[in-house]
Structure 1
Amino acid sequence: MAKWSQLPKELLELIAQRLKTTFDILRFRSVCSSWRSSVPPKPRCLPYRFPSPPDDVIPDMAGDIFISKRTIFHLGFPENPEKIPQHHRLPIPTAG
C-alpha cells in the first residue's frame, strides 16, 4: 500500500490546482507535512462585517453580523458585561 506522504510533488500540485475554497486548502494541508509544504496557505481574508439590522427587523439584537462564504455568524454582546465569568474574559493590555 502506498503512503500518502510519498505522493509525487507533481501530483500534489495537480490536486492543489483544483482546490477551490480556503477550507479545501486547509483540509489538503492538514493531511501531512509533505502535503502542507507543497501548497502555500491562502492569504487570510477576514469575513465581511455588517452592522446590526434595525430593531424592527430583528428585535433585541446587539452585535455585528459577519458573513463568510458558507456560514453566517451572529456575534452578540452581553446585556451586562459585568456578569461575564472571569474565565471567559480576554485581557486587553493597555498602552503606557
Structure 2
Amino acid sequence: MGSSAGSNLAAVIAQRASLNAPRIPIKLQILLVPAVDASRTVEDCSRWTQSMVEYENKFLLPVLNMLWLRDKYLPNPQDWTEPEASPMSSSIRGDT
C-alpha cells in the first residue's frame, strides 16, 4: 500500500518482485493518489490524464506544483520514462 510518492515506491517494488527470481506473485496492491507516470509535461496538456484535467487546481497538490516537484526530483527529462519514475508505463511481464 502506498500514497502519492509512496505509491510509486510500492508499484516499483511490486514490479521488481514479479520480475526477479524467484518470482513473487502479487495478489493485490492498493495505491492511493499514485505518482506512477512522470512523463507528463506542463507544455503538453493534451497528454494529461482525465484526472489531471479534472483536478488540476484542486486538493493540496495542484498539477503544476506536482510537475514542478517532479522537475526538482528528476531534472533530466530522459529519466521521466524510466520504470522507476513511471512504473505505469512498464510491464510486469518483463518487457517494457
Query: Which band: TM-score by shorter chain?
Result: under 0.3
Computing the radius of gyration from Cα coordinates, the structure with the larger value is 1
Report which structure shows greater RCO (CA 8 Å, sep ≥6): 2
TM-score by length of 1: 0.21
Q: Choose between structure 1 and 2: higher strand proportion.
A: 1
TM-score, structure 2 as length reference: 0.21
